[in-house]
Amino acid sequence: MAASLTLPPPVSTGASLKRLRKATSNYLGAADIALLERAYQRSEQAHTGQLRHSGEPYIQHPLAVTLLLAGWRMDVHVLMAGLLHDVVEDTNVDCAALGREFGDKVADLVDGVTKLERFKVEDREQDDADSLYKILLAMNKDVLVFLIKLADRLHNMRTIDNLPLPRRYRAATETLDIYAPLAHRLGMSEVGRELEDRSFKVVNPSFWSELEQRMRKLRGQRRRLLTQVERTLRERLTQEQIKAALHRREKHLYGIYRKMINKGLNFQEIHDIQGFRLIVNSVSACYLALGTAHNLFMPVPGRFKDYIALPKSNGYQSLHTILRGPHGMSFELQIRTREMDRLSESGIAAHWLYKMHRHPVHGSVKERARRLLPDLRELHGKTRDSLELVEQVKQDLSPSSELYVFTPKGDVFKLPPGATPVDLAYAIHTDVGNHCVGAEIERNPVPLRSRMQNGQTVRILTREQANPNPAWLNFVVTPRARLGIRHRLKSLRDWEARDLGHRLLTKELEVFQLRLDDKLCASLKQLLNKHQLQDQEALFVKLGYGDLPAPIVAREIASQDKPLKTPIGDTPPGPLPILGTEGMVVNFPRCCHPVPGDSIVGLLSRGRGLVIHREGCGNISGAARRGEWLLDVCWSTDIDCEFTASLRLLVTNQRGVLATIATAISKQEANIVDLKIKESGDTTTILLFNIQVRDLSQMERVQAHLKQLEHVTEVRRV
């Protein structure tokens, strides 16, 4: 962690422009520098009179952001956007004006990093999520937006001590949740580590202080031993003629804290706090150096990781090994090439610098960066709730080790620990996830909730007609899978609600001898405008979910049709036939378990759709008070599915009685889906069975057959 920042005294315009020229003259031409100076003057003019919390002129912040961007060798448009990034948010200048003055590219970048206007100050969490949602989507469209925002956040974190405590805590928490993980995701580890340590100091100052003291003590204790290890390593590498640069490295404080929390370790149990980084000239030299180190010091079993053969998702490559040094001291050795080292510290920014002299458009770099970010465009298509999207992004970015699994074709997928075949299916493609029906691991069938292990080959089985199971949400671990399942289920529910709504409205219009045809277009149009609905399909969805009552909607439509062919209410509509295959918007509750043959009533419940109860069920009472509508329903004559019924049995305690009951139920072609022992005494036991039957007559046959069994004293339907 760097020492507390001492702010420099305010500098003049001339001094600021001189700093800009010095930072950019080694890679920008004179014309670009002139544009940059014009952008600085425009920003300084717009921020005139504004001060930061430290008391310095506000222009010092965009200047510092731009100098950071210049250190990453960003082009002139990005640097201009860095100078102007707060102009729209904090002054009366708008993006259109910036576009006219500096071009659309600069204006678009500034717009991307600009927060939404704050209208809902009473709901700060939602307000912050909305602004972050906008920035995340802009970042996903163009990674340059993220680099500007990252430089902005880095400078704000360096000067965070000047903010009030609540704002400090909020900014530090957001940095740990979003910005630092995104920096690591793009391989900008040096920036990510600094953001983490500065945020950690704000969020948990006591733990930060304790770790800093322990680190100071550890450095003093191990200085002599580490010097001995370094000398021995250098001598052996020279003997083996391996050209290498050897540097000491130390795990940053937040990295230590995270490892202690995630793995339940104490400070003494972490072996990679201190170590060395070995930089060599080639990949083959990496493995030669590894063999040399393992011959020199004893490697700790199970603590070797080859990120060269299997790079991390952000492109990071290196060999990591834990070794035992003098007096049993453990230390980590990282071995990598110069190119790997450059990319490990600066990530996409270093890649950008490498490409800029060869490919001015940077298209391949942008695409590579976009692939490293969470697929926000896909998430955006599946949810418009900014709080949910931000939460999903946080989960996706949460640091964890990586799980490598293979498909039968040899493709490698990196997933978080605990991932299931369903997570893999959605990682392959959304359609594969939506139609997944099973999986094989190493050619053996496994349940979809199975946790995959590193290096396994997993085959996903699909079927065209299949759809996700809502129960999958209980075990998937990736945001992509979770949102994919929710989106598909909602689409199915919307389709089913649309069909049910159409049927409900058709039935209710029969009262007025009206049909849903072209003649009702004018009436429907007025109704849609009244309820602010886009089209007729949206109306059917609302009706199917119970958000609009079909009888009232039918009356509204009929009142527009002059004259009415039948007085309102004279002829009740016929009952709505229930098939049992309508999907998730027609529900059969556990309170009464209706089956075909029972007298039934429909309860149209807001947001749930149509709930089918048996007549006399206690949950029907009070429907109007709860804002629910009773509908006349009946069983269809074309039912071809099974329904759950519940039976209560009183049996004597005899060996084999359960097997006898199960056999009796099976003989009546019914299936047991659940069994509970409600009460058990010395001589009798109460058993609750849930069985699947086609209709009431089959269930009654099951009951009659069970009553004939010797040790069954009572059978009744619950």
For every residue of 624-682, which 3-state class applies, written as one string? Answer: CCCCCEEECEEECCCCCCCEEEEEEEEEECCCCHHHHHHHHHHHCCCEEEEEEEEEECC
Q: Does domain 400-477 have CATH number 3.40.50.880?
A: no
Q: What is the pLDDT of residue 460?
A: 95
CA angle 600, 606, 610 (to 5 degrees): 25
pLDDT tens, position by position, 544-594: 887 887 877 877 777 765 544 444 445 556 788 888 877 777 888 888 999
The pLDDT confidence band at residue 648, using thresholds 50, 70 and 90, is very high
Q: What is the pLDDT of residue 288?
A: 95
Peptide bond before residue 563 is cis, with ω within 30 degrees of 0? yes
Q: Is-contact 148 81, C-beta < 8 A?
A: yes
- Catalytic annotation present for 89: yes
CA distance 404 to 415: 6
Q: Which of 144, 112, 196, 175 shows the shortest CA–CA distance to 373?
A: 144
The pLDDT confidence band at residue 135, using thresholds 50, 70 and 90, is low
pLDDT tens, position by position, 207-216: 999 999 999 9
> Where do the domains of the chain lie?
15-114, 206-347, 400-477, 487-633, 643-717
CA distance 481 to 375: 12
Q: How would you class 679 by CB atoms within 10 Å of its CB: exposed for 0-12, middle for 13-18, buried for 19 or more?
A: exposed
Domain 206-347: CATH architecture, name and number where available? 2-Layer Sandwich (3.30)
The pLDDT confidence band at residue 478, using thresholds 50, 70 and 90, is confident
| Across 9-18, 61-70, 158-167, 531-540, least confident range | 9-18
Q: What is the pLDDT of residue 9?
A: 53
pLDDT tens, position by position, 25-57: 988 899 999 999 999 999 999 999 898 888 889
pLDDT tens, position by position, 301-329: 888 999 998 887 767 899 999 999 888 88
Rg (CA), the chain: 34
Quick one: tokens of 425? Answer: 């299916």
Question: Which CATH number does 15-114 carry?
Answer: 1.10.3210.10
**CA distances (Å), origin 151, targets 144, 191, 213, 609:** 11, 9, 29, 49
The pLDDT confidence band at residue 371, using thresholds 50, 70 and 90, is low
Task: Say which of 37, 56, 90, 378 is annotated catalytic.
Answer: 90
Q: What is the pLDDT of residue 4?
A: 38
- As a whole number, the mean pLDDT across the chain is 83
pTM: 0.61
CATH topology of domain 643-717: Alpha-Beta Plaits (3.30.70)
Task: Say which of 32, 37, 56, 89 is annotated catalytic.
Answer: 89
The dihedrals phi and psi of 440, each to the nearest 5 degrees, come to -125, 130
pLDDT over 60 at 7, yes or no: no
The dihedrals phi and psi of 10, each to the nearest 5 degrees, come to -55, 145
Q: What is the pLDDT of residue 498?
A: 85
